[in-house]
Chain A
Amino acid sequence: MQVQMTVNGEEVSKEIEPRTLLVHFLRDHLGLTGTHWGCDTSNCGTCVVWVDNEPVKSCTHLAAMAGGHEVRTVEGLEVDGELDPVQEGFIQCHGLQCGFCTPGMMMTARALLDRNPDPDEATIREAISGQICRCTGYSTIIRSIQWAASKERETAVSLGNTAIEGANA
């Protein structure tokens, strides 16, 4: 069957078997290997991508079901060469060790911060509770997400101040 969708802002169209899972479509058909393929049982969460702005486990999602929808992967976090604050946070706070869980963790973290710019630790833990870090590096992952949240709040304040200054000028 022919499937068409938007992936990281670009229209793609491919001939696939209907049984193709979204994770394999992204990795094998589009070469977007940033999305990792882990447990295959929707437990580990390293395959998390967004479909229509909502994190989903792409190992338990048919590529066909994503047809006509917007998919965003970890490759789509960076915009015009600028890392997303969540990516920066993972660098600053040592949010990855082996790196296997990282793409899913970052996609879930980005979705969390879009909904809740100032999550407490319990909220972050709950948000990533469907994801497993096999290095057990949860503390630094949580710190990375907090770092991103705090940076975004600062940026929002400074942008707000700029806007006020602009309005006063």
Chain B
Amino acid sequence: MQVPAPFEYERATSVDHAIELLNRLGSEARIIAGGHSLLPMMKLRMAAPEYIIDINDLSSQLEYINITDDEVRIGALTRHQQLLESDELAAIMPIFRDAEKVIADPVVRNKGTLGGSLCQADPSEDLSAVCDALDASCVIKGLDGERVVSMHDFHVGPYETAVADGEMLTEVRIPRRSGSSSAYHKVERRAGDWAVASAGAAVTMNGDVIADGRVGLCAVGPNLTNVQPISDALRGATPSEELYAQVGQIAADNASPSDDTRGTAAYKTHLAKELTVRSLRKAVERATGQSATSNGGVA
């Protein structure tokens, strides 16, 4: 029987109240949202917070997908299911639906949240790769107000984020760019499992040329956000199978996976390359209107 170590339970009534509780209770307090990362960690006693602050009542403040001409703002408490089902989001950033279809299972997706996924900072967590490919920023709130950090700075290391004691992640902001689209590919052993490896790509086209492109990788190394050589190779390049293969090779060269029950390091390195190729190809097809799925261009 798996049971968490004892803790005290508090329920936040507002974001400010949650931050006040975090500051009052100190570094042994943790926020619980969907609980599908934190509770398993607590059951295994890999985490043993003394205080749990439940933010599930804060949906009016933290559960939303707001799309404007310039950017998309998603509240930290937005559930996987909402990210999956939003047609508006899928129309401009199809990478979300690609990824959410293969994250856990429908019942888990009812509870799990975007903010919880990012704050867990598991190197095998899909939404981190998605947000990195999309060049997202994270809004972190504390007693002194908000600060905005890039995904690159948000992920300090495996299971470590830029969110300090007394602070919480409240929102993810993603820039919208004209002529852009995105895609995500994952290989898993069975439905709903963690990735053996996965890759997400987002590209912005300027006519026939890639103006800007990013790839987020998952489960092939401790912290593979913002692989700069990939973005350098894509900038100004004309899409071709040769280009995708070249970029896939850069992804493989930057991957540092380990052997585990999900596969050998060699297999995962191969997947880093192949899934990067597939995601880039799909993202470009969508951005240039060659794919049945609508492209993400801002009219």
Residues of A within 8 A of B56 (CB): 65
Contacting B40 at CB < 8 Å: which of A60, A62, A127? A60
Check if A121 is an interface residue, CB within 8 A of chain B.
no
B40 near A65 with CB under 8 A, answer no
The segment out of A51-59, A89-97, A142-150, A159-167 that lies at the interface is A51-59
B9 near A42 with CB under 8 A, answer no
The segment out of A5-13, A15-23, A71-79, A133-141 that lies at the interface is A15-23
Check if A40 is an interface residue, CB within 8 A of chain B.
yes
Check if B7 is an interface residue, CB within 8 A of chain A.
yes
Closest approach, in angstroms, between the C-beta of B145 and any C-beta of chain A?
A: 29
Give B1-32 interface residues, CB cut-off 8 Å to A. 1-9, 11, 32
Give B44-64 interface residues, CB cut-off 8 Å to A. 52, 54, 56
Residues of A within 8 A of B35 (CB): 60-62, 65
Check if B262 is an interface residue, CB within 8 A of chain A.
no
Check if A101 is an interface residue, CB within 8 A of chain B.
no
Closest approach, in angstroms, between the C-beta of A10 and any C-beta of chain B?
A: 22
Interface size class of A (residues with CB under 8 A): 20 to 34
Residues of A within 8 A of B108 (CB): 42, 57, 60, 130
Closest approach, in angstroms, between the C-beta of B25 and any C-beta of chain A?
A: 13
A45 CA to B106 CA in the complex, in Å? 11
Check if B105 is an interface residue, CB within 8 A of chain A.
yes
Residues of A within 8 A of B7 (CB): 18-19
Chain A 29-63, CB-CB to B under 8 Å as 1, else 0, gives 00000000000111101001000001111001110
B3 near A19 with CB under 8 A, answer yes
Residues of B within 8 A of A131 (CB): 105, 107
Check if A64 is an interface residue, CB within 8 A of chain B.
yes
A52 CA to B5 CA in the complex, in Å? 27
A64 CA to B35 CA in the complex, in Å? 12
A19 CA to B7 CA in the complex, in Å? 7
Q: Which chain A residue shows the least CB distance to B42?
A: A19
Interface size on B, residues (CB 8 A): 28
A57 near B4 with CB under 8 A, answer no
Q: A19-B3, A42-B40 are in contact. Are A62 and B9 (CB under 8 A)?
A: yes
Residues of B within 8 A of A61 (CB): 35, 39, 111
A48 near B107 with CB under 8 A, answer yes
A129 CA to B7 CA in the complex, in Å? 33
Check if B270 is an interface residue, CB within 8 A of chain A.
no
Check if B175 is an interface residue, CB within 8 A of chain A.
no
A157 CA to B40 CA in the complex, in Å? 46
Residues of B within 8 A of A48 (CB): 107
Q: Which chain A residue shows the least CB distance to B57?
A: A68
Residues of B within 8 A of A21 (CB): 3, 39
Check if B104 is an interface residue, CB within 8 A of chain A.
yes
A62 CA to B111 CA in the complex, in Å? 12
Q: A62-B39, A65-B35, A126-B106 are in contact. Are A40 and B6 (CB under 8 A)?
A: no
A130 near B6 with CB under 8 A, answer no
Contacting A130 at CB < 8 Å: which of B2, B3, B5, B106? B106
A114 CA to B3 CA in the complex, in Å? 33
Residues of B within 8 A of A40 (CB): 1-2, 43
Q: A40-B43, A65-B54, A130-B104 are in contact. Are A1 and B9 (CB under 8 A)?
A: yes
Check if B266 is an interface residue, CB within 8 A of chain A.
no
12 more A-B residue pairs beyond the given contacts A18-B9, A62-B9, A62-B35, with a C-beta to C-beta distance below 8 A? A40-B2, A42-B108, A54-B110, A56-B107, A56-B111, A57-B107, A61-B39, A62-B54, A65-B54, A130-B107, A131-B105, A131-B107
Q: Which residues on B are within 8 Å of A, measured CB to CB?
A: 1-9, 11, 32, 35-36, 39-40, 43, 52, 54, 56, 104-108, 110-111, 191-192
